Structure 1
Amino acid sequence: MGESPRIGNSVGADVMRGVAILMVVVYHAFGSFYGWHLPWDGWLRNFSEPRSETLVWFYPVSFGWAGVSLFFTISGFCIHYSYLRAGKFDPGQFYWRRFWRIYPAYLISLVLFAILFGYSHLTYKGMSQILSHAFFIHNFGSEGFFAINPSFWSIATEVQLYLLFPVLLFIRGRLGISATLVILFIVACGWRIIAISNWGLPEHPIDWVWTFPLMTWFDWSLGALVAERSFQGRRAFKNPGLWLPASLLLFVLSTFYKPLTVFSFTLAALASAVALDASLYVRWKSWWAWGLVFIGTISYSLYLWHQPLIPYLINRLKTISGSSFVAWIGLVPLLLVGGWVSFQIFEKPAVAIGHRLRRSRRRADS
């Protein structure tokens, strides 16, 4: 069977989750002040007349959005591996656990940011945004995609991928995981054809059209492939020393040529799947790895709150310290403290409530 993965304690996945949230936080922090990407000159990136000279010097930071691809891959891995360990799919239990893990903390963040940014329930626009976010459908159009909290789009997409999970299991049960991925890739390419025909090429891969569930379903399922192979005691990518640099190179090149950006998110997911697969075989003992495990543990709370708070925190820290350097150095520790507090007072209690209610219901039924 070969080398066995060390996934009993999910250290590799937690480390990768920590990497993903740091990529996203740094990207949002940098982009809020210096720009999100370089402009296009026809079908190529324009480096001669950049929107921000700083963005040119720190251009790798602009790839931080790929942390979302990594998040999707990790999610597909964790969800599918849990199913494989259980040996069956219980829809009631699955969606019950997902609800209490995601929704209470999300709803609190949604309500507070809606109030903070003036989305009044007394207006049609405000109420439509609040309700579309509450029901995770705001990512089905440009008007709601970045509304209230721009980071919320990926949570909606994630929930929609949970709803598609039984379909993935149905196809996999009849054709196997490899054929399932082929089918999902064909579906994703079909959506790309529809998208290009109706909306043209994207200015940036993070857009409602280019992160639609029918496209990102394949990306999420790459994590399921890693889970399947790991459960069998095999590597999903037998030569990561070749797969990882090759997939990273293709990802970077795709971002320079506009027609290829329709595959950028998927190429980032492929590189993420290779990295995740390799991480399962690493003995994580260093202090920084366990620091990433901690950050990965609070990553959901950190994700819920960080983006709208970044400009406010940077400006406040600049005012207090009188130094931009101090403000940037102090940003991440403040966000980590806030994420830990949210994890302790919102996430953990909600999950505990869900467990207690589930046990009470089982006792009542027995």
Structure 2
Amino acid sequence: MKSLNIPYNPRIDQLRWLAATMVFLFHFYLEWRGLGGPGVTSPWFGLITEGHTGVGLFFTLSGFLFMQIALHQTVINYGDFMRNRFLRIFPLFLTVFLVATSIGRDKFQPQDIFYVLTTNLGLAPTSLSVITGAAWTISLEFLFYAIFPFLARFAMERGVRYLLSLILLLFFFKVAAFTVNENSTHMYFSTFVGRFDQFLIGMIGAMLYQQKKAALHRAAPWLVPVALLLALANSALQAKTASFGQHPHSAFWIIWSTLESTAWVAVILAWVSFDKALPAWLERVMNHGGKISFSFYLLHMAVLHVFAVGARMAGYAGKVTWHDLLYMLPIAYGATWALSALTYIVIEEPFLRMRRGYGKAKTVPLASAA
């Protein structure tokens, strides 16, 4: 997706595609296991069995991209920035929220409308149905948007040390929260305390990229495989040490999001620095996947759930084998892609055309934009 405020970099869209695909594979694997499909035991398949790590990549990528924009523009109009963010995410998100409230109409309370701001907390309508469950991340994204111009201002004034200080403060909050929350894993997974350091690490990555751009581009051919191996090893470590859903109160999760995001920012830095062209068809597919990744992310759980219900009705439950994967996975992925392309065209794109620039290059610090 092209921004109005920074030159288009297809590598960003390709990383969005990767993040959405990993989350899809994670939920496909869960539905597959629910149908009685065979599982995998090796932690080296962690990018699938712990594919929720794609959310960490999304969050880190948000911090990286918006800090890149801030460094490029140096002046951000807060009102126009928030207007663009609203137009980017709210139309489709509101659609999903209304689907959730429709499903839960018999239990809906008037105050539940406020969950539109906090889908990651409590008994949000979107979290009561598997087909809208992915919407929990949107509240954290929007919180980041709301304070990003200020974070960018302070980071540009004080340097990377300011963001590192915030990460240290968040670490204290994580430790303190661990001592009083019996379900700390879910807390770290879906709240400000557990996730906000990932946005900050992405911002640090953008500042490092600005400072070391030439060196990163020279080193990219070997940095890419090293960074991907780091991400793979990190997911394997999580799968082996504290797999999601199996350890409700694990101390490992105090450092989990920081480790995860550090691996992903390495991948981001390596990939955006990688200048060698991929095959043209692959570039087009990945770029388009990145363009529709928001729709893909919000809708994939609904497609997978309907797919699994259909498989049960067809008598597949308890009978699926690895051979069935050869057609089940492509069909589910293709159906999700097609539906996402449709919602992008009819819901996302018309509002995206209403965006406008929110920054301009200037020689004064970002402080003047607050």
Extract unaligned runs of 5+ from structure 1.
1-6, 36-50, 357-366
Hey, what does 1:108 align to over in structure 2?
Answer: 95
Structure 1 residues 170, 329: closer, same or farther in 2, change over 3 A? closer
2:161 to 171, 179, 193: 179
Instruction: Give aligned-pair identity as a percent.
Output: 19
Alpha-carbon distance in 1 for matches of 2:202, 2:122: 26
Residues 155 and 162, structure 2, Cα contact 8 Å, conserved in 1:
yes
Alpha-carbon distance in 2 for matches of 1:210, 1:311: 22
Residues 229 and 236, structure 1, Cα contact 8 Å, conserved in 2:
no
Residue 141 in structure 1 maps to residue 134 in structure 2: no
Hey, what does 2:302 align to over in structure 1?
Answer: 308
Equivalent positions of 1:1-366 (< 5 A) are 8-34=7-33, 54-56=39-41, 59-60=45-46, 61-115=48-102, 117-120=103-106, 123=107, 125-129=108-112, 131-134=113-116, 136-141=117-122, 146-148=127-129, 149-176=132-159, 178-200=160-182, 202=184, 204=185, 207-232=186-211, 234=213, 240=223, 245-246=229-230, 248-257=232-241, 258-282=250-274, 283-286=276-279, 287-316=281-310, 325=324, 326-355=327-356
Structure 1 residues 179, 172: closer, same or farther in 2, change over 3 A? same
Detail structure 1 runs of 4+ shifted over 4 Å in the superposition: 142-145, 235-239, 241-244, 317-324
Alpha-carbon distance in 1 for matches of 2:212, 2:38: 48
Residues 24 and 67, structure 1, Cα contact 8 Å, conserved in 2:
yes
Alpha-carbon distance in 2 for matches of 1:82, 1:18: 20
After the TM superposition, which of the residue ranges 157-166 and 51-60 deviates more from structure 2?
Answer: 51-60
Alpha-carbon distance in 1 for matches of 2:331, 2:267: 29
Q: Shift in Å at residue 276 of structure 1?
A: 0.7
Aligned residue pair count: 325
Structure 1 residues 301, 320: closer, same or farther in 2, change over 3 A? same
- Equivalent position amino acid for 2:120 in 1: N
Alpha-carbon distance in 1 for matches of 2:230, 2:168: 22
Q: Shift in Å at residue 230 of structure 1?
A: 2.8
- 1:184-233: CA deviation from partner (whole Å, max 9, x where unpaired): 2112211211221111464x5xx244432244222112222222233345
Alpha-carbon distance in 2 for matches of 1:310, 1:293: 23
Residues 151 and 307, structure 1, Cα contact 8 Å, conserved in 2:
yes
Tell which has more relative contact order, 1 or 2 (C-alpha 8 A, sep 6+).
Answer: 2
Structure 1 residues 76, 163: closer, same or farther in 2, change over 3 A? same
After the TM superposition, which of the residue ranges 245-254 and 331-340 deviates more from structure 2?
Answer: 245-254
Residues 14 and 290, structure 2, Cα contact 8 Å, conserved in 1:
yes
Structure 1 residues 192, 118: closer, same or farther in 2, change over 3 A? same
Q: Shift in Å at residue 299 of structure 1?
A: 0.3
Extract unaligned runs of 5+ from structure 2.
1-5, 242-249, 358-370
Residues 15 and 292, structure 1, Cα contact 8 Å, conserved in 2:
yes
Alpha-carbon distance in 2 for matches of 1:247, 1:166: 29
Structure 1 residues 108, 142: closer, same or farther in 2, change over 3 A? closer
Q: Shift in Å at residue 81 of structure 1?
A: 1.3
| TM-score for the superposition, normalised by structure 2 | 0.77
